[in-house]
Amino acid sequence: MNDRIDPPFFKKLILAILMIAVSVAGLLGWSYFQRSSDKEDSPRESTPMTMSPAERRWQAFLSENFAGDRACVECHSEQFDAQQRSGHSRTATPMAESSLAQILNGKSYDDPRRDQSFSFSREQDQFFVSTIDAGREVKFPVTWLLGSGTHARTPVSIDPGSGLGVEFRWTWFANLEALGVTPDHERFDDYQPGTLDCFGRPLGKTQVRACVTCHMTAVPPEEIPASREHFLANVGCERCHGPRKKHVELAHQGRAEESPPLFTYDDPEEYMDRCAQCHRDETNIPSDTAPHELARFQPYGLKRSRCFQESSMTCSTCHDPHDRVSTDRAQYRRICLSCHSSSEQTACPIEPAGKCIECHMPAVEWSSGIEFHDHEIRVP
Ligand code: HEC
Ligand code: HEC
Ligand code: HEC
Ligand code: HEC
Ligand code: HEC
Ligand code: HEC
Ligand code: HEC
């Protein structure tokens, strides 16, 4: 939600596509994307039966290199169990299989900012949203649900043929335990009937790829249809440790040490760079980020802190990267004091044994009641 990469080119492209789509539109929303790919007459979900040679090569690449999280449990159960608790393991779910699909099935939702209502249905293994647009009912398949729901879950659809997508206007908020308007979609309150805007924010190919690259372990190259079986969903072990099939095979023969780590996390700068690919630092925060939104980008903040700059701190100093974030403040205070109570390092002149986080890493509201702790540790 709210990654604002909005190259005007894609806006234009989508508009052009929509002009055509509207004139041929059937009742199924995919037609909003139709003719976007000149090779195909109708959007398709590819099945193993109909896979092209390129798709088969991609599938072979996945199965030859990736072992999947379950393959790690027998030897690394501690990391595996922690990972199951972390949002990383649930950050992209096929919509029809999500718990949200069960909750919404058969219900409808009135948009609080538009004179519009959405109805939901689960049919076989697909999930649909429908609405009345330009005087007729339009029905759209919802393919993915992004976010574990710690804060929120936002649905998106990706058209396998064209690679274009849409971020829906309704998001499930944990703090409301209900649907609300997807953050930043207020700017789509006024929309052009008969276009994809009636469902939400159209996503160009680049935007679709950005979303899934940050929420998944492996994403197929652009020439492969963006259908479900070509993705490795969620931020799994192999997103942070690289493809480890060889390691699993060698470990089974007692030769694990012959598969050296693909990525190491010993150097704090390198460590930060890896997390910042998704959590973002000064190199990739959206250019229109408002100051109060910066707390969402932990590597950005931490890298600006003297604590990081003048020690060898990483995210692991305070978090187990495999686990859910702890909210045990006494534990964080102990970590602060491990550096800030010795004679060489500065102690706090205000509350040397107080609640460090409240003053030095305060929670900041980002949007819709969702808060992030400011990781730029500094004098308040
Ligand atoms: C059959 C047992 C076994 C399985 C299965 C296994 N590992 Fe390992 N792994 C080991 C052993 C043994 C070591 C220690 C190797 C060494 O000392 O160099 C290790 C070390 C590691 C390390 C630390 C060193 C490094 O390579 O970075 C990581 C990370 C790791 N494994 C990830 C994984 C992942 C991810 C999976 C699942 C895809 C997995 N392992 C599956 C046995 C296993
Ligand atoms: C491929 C993108 C990606 C990478 C790389 C990544 N993260 Fe994440 N991280 C996410 C996403 C997406 C979420 C939100 C998960 C959710 O839906 O709850 C997240 C959530 C988290 C959380 C909160 C987990 C919880 O459930 O409380 C922590 C902590 C975290 N990441 C730490 C790290 C650290 C440390 C690194 C680097 C070693 C890292 N992440 C690398 C994408 C990534
Ligand atoms: C640059 C990487 C990046 C991109 C691009 C990105 N996300 Fe995320 N997303 C994250 C990270 C990291 C988190 C966890 C921290 C946070 O909530 O900001 C996250 C969190 C979320 C959450 C909240 C999860 C929870 O319950 O806490 C949702 C929902 C979400 N993203 C949806 C999307 C959608 C939809 C898109 C595309 C339109 C998208 N994201 C694009 C990295 C990204
Ligand atoms: C968000 C990134 C991320 C994910 C996902 C992730 N790891 Fe790690 N892993 C790390 C980092 C960073 C370290 C280095 C630990 C440190 O700095 O304390 C590490 C260390 C390890 C180690 C070495 C043990 C140690 O304490 O040094 C093993 C083994 C391991 N991970 C296995 C796994 C397995 C198995 C999974 C999936 C169940 C997994 N990791 C998922 C980031 C990740
Ligand atoms: C790994 C060691 C380490 C840890 C852990 C650590 N810091 Fe620091 N911190 C430093 C160093 C080094 C400096 C700069 C020199 C100094 O002030 O001692 C610093 C500086 C600071 C400053 C002054 C910042 C400025 O801009 O002048 C504050 C405030 C601070 N730390 C608070 C905290 C809090 C709160 C925590 C726990 C959430 C924490 N630190 C954890 C090492 C650490
Ligand atoms: C009630 C708010 C509050 C709490 C709680 C608090 N601090 Fe501070 N801290 C401050 C303020 C304000 C300053 C700046 C004082 C000044 O410059 O006169 C400060 C300064 C610091 C400094 C920089 C000192 C220097 O001279 O550069 C460090 C380090 C620090 N705090 C660490 C901590 C740690 C560790 C904790 C938890 C044990 C903590 N603080 C708890 C408000 C707080
Ligand atoms: C000095 C300690 C410290 C370091 C280092 C640190 N964090 Fe945190 N982090 C915290 C604290 C404290 C919280 C708030 C926990 C709570 O809710 O009580 C937090 C919360 C989070 C959250 C949950 C969302 C939020 O902001 O409340 C994420 C995600 C996260 N950290 C990621 C990271 C990543 C990624 C890194 C490395 C770039 C990192 N953290 C480094 C102390 C740290």
- 95-124 pLDDT, tens digit each: 999 999 999 999 999 999 999 999 999 998
Ligand nearest to the CA of 167: 3
Rg value, the chain, Cα: 23
Q: What is the pLDDT of residue 346?
A: 84
- The residue whose CA has the least distance to atom 11 of ligand 7 is 373
- The residue whose CA has the least distance to atom 41 of ligand 7 is 315
316 lines ligand 4 (CB under 6 A): yes
Ligand nearest to the CA of 274: 2
Residues in contact with ligand 3 (CB, 6 Å cut-off):
1, 3, 87, 146-154, 156, 167, 210-211, 214-215, 278-280, 296
CB 356 within 8 A of CB 348: yes
- Cα(366) to centroid of ligand 7, in Å? 15
pLDDT, one tens digit per residue, over 73-98 is: 999 999 999 999 999 999 999 999 99
Ligand nearest to the CA of 217: 2
Q: What is the pLDDT of residue 328?
A: 96
321 lines ligand 4 (CB under 6 A): yes
Confidence of residue 8 (pLDDT cuts 50, 70, 90): very low
